Amino acid sequence: MVNITPLLQHSIAPHPLLLAIETSCDETAIAILRGRALLASEVASQSAAHQPYGGVVPEVASRHHLRHAPQLLERATSDAGISLGQVAAFAATSGPGLASSLMIGASLAKGLALGFDKPYLAINHLEGHLLSPFFGSEAGIEPNVALIVSGGHTMLVEVNGVGDYRIIGRTVDDAAGEAFDKVAKMLGLAYPGGPEIERCAQGGDPARFGLPRSMLNSGDANFSFSGLKTAVRYLLPKIAAPEDGKVLSDLCASFQRAVVDVLVAKTIAAARAARRSLVTVSGGVSCNHELRTQMSLGCKRAGLELRFAAPRLCTDNAAMIAFAALLRWERGDSTPLTTEINPNLAL
Amino acid sequence: MATFTSNSAAETIAFARAWAQALVPNDVVALVGDLGAGKTHFVKGLLRGLESTEEATSPTFTLIHEYRGGRLPLFHFDFYRLNQLSELAEIGFDEYLDDGGVAVIEWADRFPEALPERARWLRIEAPSASERNFTEEEK
C-alpha cells in the first residue's frame, strides 16, 4: 500500500472519509469509515436508562441523544485521528424509528454537511442492517435472501444489489425481538429480554413445553409471534413454580426454540422460493446463539451459504449506516438537505 | 352495551370489522386488555372494516402506526412503553386525535387522562385461552 497523505483530495479520493450518525431508537452512535476500513465506531447505549421501565421511553431517548451526540462526535474524530473538515460526506439514519430521536441525528448530520459544504446522505436503518453482513467486503453485495430480525422488525428481503430490494415477508403482528421482550416481562426477567431469555435458556430443555410454531405452513413468507406470546401467557398459570430455576430454564429454552424454528424454516423456504443460494441474517436478535446454531445447521442441510452480520454490527450501531452510506456514495447518491426524517420509512 | 364473546382470532377480526362500520371522523377508541388479549387483532379487524387492505402490526416499537388506505385514516397507538403523559406530546398525540381519522389506543388505561371525553372504552377480557369477552364501558 502507498502512504496515505493527509492532504488527499477527498472529492476524488478512492477511499473517502465518511461519517455516519445513528439515533433511530435508544442507542446514540457515530462511526467513521475510510473507504472500507472502520476508523471509529462509538455507541452510547441507553439500556441502563430504560431498564426501570421495561422498554424504550421516547423522551428519555431523545434527551439522551442530545446529551451524547456531541461527546461521541469528539471521541470518534479523535479516535479516527481526523478532523471534520476532511470528511467527504455526512450520513444519518432517517427512519424508521422514533421521530424525536431520528430528528437529532439527522439534524446534526445535515448541520455538518451544510457547515463543511459536503454531501448529506439519508440512510434507511433497515438498509444498514440489510447490508451489514457484507461489512468491509470489497466484493460488493452478492444477491441473497436476507432475514432482518430485531426488536422492531422481522422481515425477509430479496436483495439483488445496493438499492434493489424486494420485501418478501414480514411479521403480521409482533416483531421477534418484541416477543422476547414481552415474554421476558411476563417471566419477571430484566430488559432487554432477548439476552436474559437466552441466558436463562442455557441448559434448559427446549422440548419440555409444547409451544406453537405460528404460520409455519401459511404458504407465504410472513411471520406471526403474537400467538406464541399468548400461548406463554396461558401456560404460566398451569405451571406450578415457573420461577423455579429448572422450570424457568426449560420454559425459556422452549420459547426461544419456538421463535428460532420459525425464523429458520421460513428463511430457508424463502431462499428456495427466490432461487437464491446465499442467506444473510442481521439485526439485534441475530446475536442470539441458538438462532446462529440452528440457522447454520438448517442452511448446511439445505445446501445454502450463510452469512451473519458480525455481532458488534447486530445491535444498533453507526458502522452499518456508514457502510450503507459508502455504497450509496460510490454510486453517486446524495440526499437533499430538505429531506425530512420519516418514522415510518419503508425499505 | 352487551358483551360480545369471541372464540377465535378470526371471530375477533370479524367482530371488529362489523364494529368499524359505525366509525366516523375523529372517533377515539380506547382498548383495555392484558398481554395476549387480542388488541392488535381487534385493530386488524377495524382496518378491514374501514375497507383497507393494510395489515395492522404491533406499534410497540414506534408507538404509532398510521394506516391511510381505508375509508378513514386509522392511527394506531400503544401506551405499553409510555412512562409519562408528557411523552405523548413528542409523538403529536393530540394533533392525531383531531386529524379526521380514527384513533385506536392499546393499553389506554395506563394513561386514561390523556384521552378526550368522547373516547369509547372497550375492555377485552380473556376467561380462557381461546375465549375473549368484549365489553364497551361507560366512563
**Average pLDDT, stretch A315-322?**
93
CB B62 within 8 A of CB A97: yes
pLDDT digits (tens, 9 = 90+) for A219-241: 899 999 999 999 999 999 888 78
- Of A129, A148, A63, nearest to A98 (Cα)? A63
Q: Are residues A74 and A15 in the same domain?
A: yes
- Interchain CB contact of B60 with A (< 8 Å): yes
* Domain presence at residue A194: yes
Answer yes or no: is A347 within a domain.
Answer: no
Residues in chain B: 139
Contact B57 A62 (CB under 8 A): no
* Average predicted confidence (pLDDT) for chain B: 91
d(CA A300, CA A305): 7
Question: How do residues A29-56 score in pLDDT, each as one tens digit?
Answer: 999 999 999 999 998 876 555 555 555 5
pLDDT digits (tens, 9 = 90+) for B26-73: 999 999 998 888 999 999 999 999 999 998 998 887 788 889 999 999
C-alpha cell recorded at residue A85: 473538515
Same domain for A127 and A170, yes or no, is no
- Whether A150 and A283 have beta carbons less than 8 Å apart is answered as yes
Count of the separate structural domains present in chain A: 2
pLDDT at B87 over 80: no
For residue A239, being part of any structural domain is answered with yes
The average confidence (pLDDT) of chain A is 90
- Which chain A positions have a beta carbon within 8 Å of B60's beta carbon? 55, 174, 178, 182
Residue A346 falls within a domain, yes or no?
no
Suggest the residue from A233, A238, A341 to mutate for an interface test with chain B (most B CBs closer than 10 A).
A233
Residues A293 and A151 in one domain: yes
Backbone CA torsion sign across A149, A152, A156, A158: negative
Q: Give how far B121 is from chain A: nearest CA, Å.
A: 22
The answer as to whether A276 is a domain residue is yes
CATH number of the domain enclosing B48: 3.40.50.300
Q: What residues of A are in contact with residue B35 (Cβ under 8 Å)?
A: 182, 185-186, 229-230, 233
Q: Is the Cβ of A182 closer than 8 Å to some Cβ of chain B?
A: yes
Same domain, A153 and A126: no
Measured between beta carbons, the chain B residues lying within 8 angstroms of A171 are 57
Contact (CB<8Å) B62/A234: no
- Does one domain contain both A223 and A121? no
Q: What cell does A279 get?
A: 442467506
Do residues A20 and A128 both lie within one domain?
yes
CA A140 distance to own-chain centroid: 20
Q: How confident is the model at residue A268 (pLDDT cuts 50, 70, 90)?
A: very high
Residues A72 and A174 in one domain: no
Same domain, A120 and A222: no
Average pLDDT score over residue span A116-122: 97
Which residue range(s) make up the domain with B129? 3-137
Examine residue A345 and state whether it is found in any structural domain, yes or no: no
Tell whether A31 is covered by a domain: yes
- In sequence order, the β-bridge partners of residue A241 are none
Here the CATH number for the domain that contains residue A301 is: 3.30.420.40
Residue A89: alpha-carbon gap to chain centroid: 22
Instruction: Provide the domain count of chain B.
Output: 1
Tell whether A154 and A274 lie within a shared domain: yes
Question: Would you state the pLDDT for residue A8?
Answer: 41
Instruction: Check if A347 contacts B (Cβ < 8 Å).
Output: no
Which residues does B63 contact at the CB level (< 8 Å), separation at least 6? A58, A98, B77, B78, B81, B82, B91
Specify whether A243 is located in the same domain as A122: no
Q: Which cell numbers in the block locate residue A321?
A: 449506516
Element (H, E) at A34: strand A27-34
Decide: A58 and A25 in contact? Cβ < 8 Å: no
Say what the pLDDT of residue A181 is: 92
Shared-domain flag, residues A92 and A235: no
Domain that holds residue A296: 144-308
State the nearest Cα–Cα gap between B130 and chain A, in angstroms.
10
Q: Is A342 exposed, middle or buried (0-12, 13-18, 19+ CB in 10 A)?
A: middle
Interface size, chain A vs chain B, as Cβ–Cβ contacts under 8 Å? 79
Q: Are B19 and B46 in contact (CB under 8 A)?
A: yes
Q: Are residues A225 and A259 in the same domain?
A: yes
Q: What is the DSSP string of A288-328?
A: -HHHHHHHHHHHHHHT-EEEEPPGGGTSS-SHHHHHHHHHH
User: So what's the pLDDT on residue A79?
Assistant: 93
